[in-house]
Amino acid sequence: MKPVSKSEPFRKQGQAWFCTTGLPSDVTVEVEEISFHLHKFPLLSKSNVLGKLMEDKEDSVIKLPDIPGGVKAFELVAKFCYGVKLELNALNVVYLRCAAEFLQMTEEITENNLIGQTEIFLNQVVLRNWKDTIEALRTCIDLQPYAENLMIVKKCIDSLAVKACTDPNCFGWPLVDHSLMQSPGGSVLWNGISTGARPRECRSDWWYEDVSSISFPLYKRLILAMESRGIRKDVLAGSIANYADRYIPGLTRLHNNCNKPSNQVQTLISTQAATEEEQKIFIEEINKLLPMQKGVTSTKFLLGLLRTAMILGTDKSCIFNLEKRIGMQLDQATLEDLLIPNFSYSTETLYHVDCVQRILQHFLAMDHANAGSSPCLVDDSADADANDEQQSIESPSLTPITMVARLIDGYLAEVAPDINLKLSKFQSLAAAMPDYARPIDDGLYRAIDIYLKVLNSLIRCVCILMSLSLLG
C-alpha cells in the first residue's frame, strides 16, 4: 500500500476517524470512545502487538483501552504506520515513545520504526535543550508508569540537574560579557558588525520559574538530584521558596492582615485549587526538602511557612522543625514577621507568644553552644574597666544576640497592650534574654511601661465594675 497524501491522510466524522485511501477499511481500532477505521497491512507492518491481535481476532474490531497517551497518541501512531511524516517535538515525543513501546514497534519488524526514531529524538534533541526537557518532563505525568519504566523521567531529571548545576556559559546562552563590544542599540558587535544578538544577565536563579511548573513529586526528585551534584544550598533554598510561594501564594505576605486570622484561614483555603489536606502535606514536604544550614533560607519565608503550617494544623514535628530553623537565624527576622497571629478562637492572646518564646529558646541554645561557657567574652574580673566592657559588648560575637534582644523588646512592646497576656508570660519572655545582650535597656523599659499602663487600666475597670455592683 502506498503512503497516503500528507495533506489529507485522515478524516474525522463525529467519534470516528477514517483513512482516505480509497480502499474500504478492514479493521477498526477502538481507543477510549474513538473508533479508527483503518487497514490491516500498514498496522501489522509496524506493530508486533497489533499484528498478533489481528491474527487472534475473528472479527475486525481491536480494542486498545490501555494504550499510553490514549486517543492523542494512537492518532499519531496510525499516521506513522501509513507513512505520514510526523513532526516530533517535546510535547508529543514522550507520548509516541510510550505508545510505540506498548505496541512493540521495534526495529525487528522494520527499519526506522517508531521506537528507534523517538528514542533518537529524545536523546539527541530534547535532552540537550533546557526548555524542551522541561516540556517533555511535564508530559510524563500522564504516562506513568510507562515513562518511568522507560527511564524517560530519570533522563529528563538528570539532564535538568546537570544544566542547573553548570555554568550557563557552557550552553552558549547569550550572557553579559562586558568585554564584548556593543552597538548603540545594545546588540553585540563582531568585527564591527552588529550581530543582532542581545546579551542578558544570567543569575543563579534563572531556572526557578521553569521548574516551578513541574508537579511536586517530580520537582522533589529534581531538587534531590541537584543536591547530590553539589549545587549551592542557598540557590537550592531559593528555588524551593519560589516553588512553595507559587503553590501557596502569599507565604511571605500573610502578615498583611495579621489582626484578622480568620480571614487568613479563609483566604488560604478558598483561593487555592488544592484541598486543605493537600496543602498540609505539601507544607510538611517542603519543610523536609529545605536545607537545614543556617542562613541559606530566607527568615521571612520560614516565618511565612510556619504561619501557614499553624493555619493548616500540620504535624507537630513540622512546627518544631520550622521553629528550630527560625531560631537558628532569629537575628535576621523583622518585628513585623514575628507577629504571628494566634489562630485559636478561644480567649488566648492575639499573637502567638508561646511560639515566639520557643523560637527564642532555640536561638539562645544555639548561641550558648557556639559561645561556650563564657558569656560572650564579657570580662567579669574586678580589673575590667568600662571601656573594655563596652568593646566586648560591641564585638562581632555579640551582634546577633544584641539584635535579637532589641527584636524581643520591640515584640514585647507590641504584645503588651493585649489584655489577655498574662504577667507570667510577659515576664518569662522579657527575662529570657541574658543581661549582656542588652547594652541599653530602654526598649525593655518601654515595653514594661506599656504593659503596666494596660494592667492599671484593667484594674481600674474592675474596681469601677465592683463599685457599681455594690451600689446596685
284-295 pLDDT per residue, tens: 999 999 998 999
pLDDT of residue 84: 87
pLDDT of residue 347: 57
pLDDT of residue 77: 93
CA distances from 87 to 64, 79, 90, 117, 141 (A): 24, 11, 10, 11, 22
Q: Does domain 10-124 have CATH number 3.40.50.880?
A: no
Q: Are 122 and 115 within 8 A, CB to CB?
A: no
pLDDT of residue 24: 80
Taking each helix axis from N to C end, the angle separating 152-164 and 130-139, rounded to the nearest 10 degrees, works out to 150
pLDDT of residue 345: 64
Give, rounded to a whole angstrom, the gap between the first and last alpha carbons of the chain: 108
Which parts of the chain have pLDDT scores under 70?
1-9, 22, 57-59, 167-202, 250, 252-274, 344-347, 371-398, 458-472
**Which residues are bridge partners to 62 per DSSP?**
29
pLDDT of residue 237: 95
pLDDT of residue 39: 87
pLDDT of residue 208: 93
Closest by CA to 148, choosing from 197, 195, 101, is 101
